[in-house]
Amino acid sequence: MAFLVERPGLEGIFQRLRGLGYELVGPTVREGAIVYDSIRGAADLPAGWTDVQEGGNYRLKRRDDDALFGYAVGPHSWKKFLHPPRRRLWQASREGGGFEIRPEPESGRRYAFVGVRACELKAIAIQDRVFLEGQYPDPSYRGLREGAFLIGLNCGQAGGTCFCVSMDAGPALKSGFDLGLTEVLAEGRHYFVVEVGSEAGAEVLGAVSHREASVEEVAAAQGVVAATAGQMGRAMDTAGIKELFYKNYEHGRWDEVADRCLACANCTMVCPTCFCTTVEDVTDLKGEHSERWQSWDSCFTLDFSYTHGAGPQRASTRSRYRQWLSHKLATWIDQFGSSGCVGCGRCITWCPVGIDLTEEVAALRKPSP
């Protein structure tokens, strides 16, 4: 069943979540981009803004309406909050003749994410498999993930580098949300068609003014999603993609892309599924206090594959780019049961030289020069 909430009612949802102790995080305009950050309410959303994206290019521009979610995706993903770029793991101090180790306590923060696209929900589900399944689940991720409330968003605007349709990751919401919104601006009206995805979502929706959506209103929402599916700026042929990479480790295209790649790691930093980290130990000058910190790392850094006595195992840019793309689209499938790409296009937009992984996959399907 679909429900309808008028534009002013969105503020009621936000205030209800704040009353339940959630910290609202959503899109807002800052420093020339739409980023995810703490917000107080609907007034902080990027009303009337959209983004224009191409390889190595991102710009904001004004829309001709007051859509709150009329953009694609920016440089941030939700992993910034569930899998922070830097966090302390533990600290230790000398105590008499010995020492005491104090694990870092869980933050206790409860986030309400506002405007989570279908591709981003799929990315969160992928990171759930990485951090929550297996023999050693990550307690920090688990605490933040279990405490999160997700307001999903059916896309009303695709970007020039989007290809979520190719990855079966959008633009329509499928699962993983507490409330799912579709923003509709038509015939002088501005409203949201809302789908309930959990008991928590039903409780929040029940606290604000809403009604059952009419057949016409549901059809208008479905039209928004259908139009977005036809706006994809990119496409990727995924047929037999794992085998494609396994038989092309020595393809000449790797040398061509290496000539352009700066090994800057931008693609891994903006990717919503990349999860690699490193650890760093720091001490005070007296040696009385020590801390261990975890921070994001990238397979593009020279030290990432460094082994004692042998040096870096992937010393060339060619080998590092091949490692990233092959893992993302091939070995990830063997490791986690799905592709590591959701088609959000961030890696294309935020690559300084505009390297496009959809073009690289297409090139691998051609005979090696």
Whether 184 contacts 192, CB under 8 Å? yes
- Tell me what the mean pLDDT of segment 46-53 comes to: 97
Give the HSE-up count for residue 362: Cα atoms under 13 Å, Cβ half-sphere: 8
Whether 16 contacts 204, CB under 8 Å? yes
User: SS3 sequence, 198-251?
Assistant: CHHHHHHHHCCCCEECCHHHHHHHHHHHHHHHCCCCCCCCCCCHHHHHHCCCCC
How far does Cα 104 stand from its chain's mean position? Answer: 25
Tokens of 338: 């799905």
Query: What is the pLDDT at residue 274?
Result: 97
pLDDT band at 187 (very low <50, low <70, confident <90, very high): confident
Query: What is the pLDDT at residue 184?
Result: 98
Is the pLDDT score of 368 beyond 90?
A: no
- Tell me what the mean pLDDT of segment 228-238 comes to: 96
DSSP element (H, E) containing 4: strand 2-6
Q: Which residues contact 162 (CB under 8 A, 6 or more apart)?
A: 72, 73, 119, 231, 232, 233, 234, 343, 344, 345
Q: How far apart are CA 361 and CA 369, in angstroms?
A: 15
- Tell me what the mean pLDDT of segment 171-190 comes to: 96
What is the share, in percent, of the chain residues with pLDDT greater than 70?
100
Query: What is the pLDDT at residue 276?
Result: 95
Query: What is the pLDDT at residue 255?
Result: 95
Tokens of 207: 């606290």
Is the pLDDT score of 74 beyond 80?
A: yes
- Tell me what the mean pLDDT of segment 11-29 comes to: 98
What is the share, in percent, of the chain residues with pLDDT greater than 90?
91
- Three-state DSSP at 57 gives strand
Is the pLDDT score of 308 beyond 90?
A: no
Q: How far apart are CA 314 and CA 319, in angstroms?
A: 6
- Tell me what the mean pLDDT of segment 301-324 comes to: 91
CA torsion sign, 11 to 124 to 193 to 75?
positive
- Tell me what the mean pLDDT of segment 208-233 comes to: 97
Is the pLDDT score of 312 beyond 90?
A: no
- Tell me what the mean pLDDT of segment 40-56 comes to: 97
Q: How far apart are CA 330 and CA 238, in angstroms?
A: 10
- Tell me what the mean pLDDT of segment 172-187 comes to: 96
Query: What is the pLDDT at residue 272?
Result: 98
- Compute CA distances 95 → 89, 92, 99, whole Å: 20, 9, 5
- Tell me what the mean pLDDT of segment 55-83 comes to: 96
β-partners of residue 27 are 36
Its pTM stands at 0.95
Torsion of CA 66, 69, 71, 73, to 10 degrees: 160
- Tell me what the mean pLDDT of segment 11-21 comes to: 97
- Tell me what the mean pLDDT of segment 181-202 comes to: 96
Q: What is the residue-averaged pLDDT of the chain? A: 95
pLDDT band at 97 (very low <50, low <70, confident <90, very high): confident
Is the pLDDT score of 369 beyond 80?
A: no
b/e string for 271-308 if b means 16 or more Cβ within 10 A?
A: bbbbbeeeeeeeeeeeeeebbebbebbbbbbeebbeee
**Whats the size of the chain, residue-wise?**
369
- Compute CA distances 362 → 258, 326, 347, whole Å: 16, 14, 16
pLDDT band at 339 (very low <50, low <70, confident <90, very high): very high
198: phi then psi, degrees, rounded to nearest 5: -160, 170
Query: What is the pLDDT at residue 367?
Result: 87
- Tell me what the mean pLDDT of segment 237-241 comes to: 96
- Tell me what the mean pLDDT of segment 231-251 comes to: 96
pLDDT band at 310 (very low <50, low <70, confident <90, very high): confident
